[in-house]
Amino acid sequence: MDRERFLRQILLPEIGEDGQRAIGSATAPVLGPTLAHEVARLYAERAGFAELALGPAALDAGAPAAWIETEAAREVLAGARAALRAIVAALPARPGGA
């Protein structure tokens, strides 16, 4: 693990060294044809995932369309949320569910 590269994530109590190692051995399901997939891919690569795989055909932005004016902004939000979901899924279970 490249501690210097991932120091910001390692310093987060929610991730730490064990979490970064888990991310580094996990696969993120983020690949696809849309701008959202491209954003998710970039986030996942930078998070340090071992592999990237095909993700769902559509990535959910998680916010009502009325809250976000442009389709491009919705796609960026959807991609960022997809990468975050992959990170959370890769993390080891924490005692007490936290």
pTM: 0.87
Answer whether 32's CB lies under 8 Å from 54's CB: yes
pLDDT digits (tens, 9 = 90+) for 47-91: 999 999 999 998 988 888 788 889 899 999 999 999 999 999 999
pLDDT digits (tens, 9 = 90+) for 72-84: 999 999 999 999 9
Exposure string of 5-22, with b = 16+ CB inside 10 Å and e = fewer, is ebeebbeeeebbeebbbb
pLDDT digits (tens, 9 = 90+) for 20-33: 999 999 999 999 99
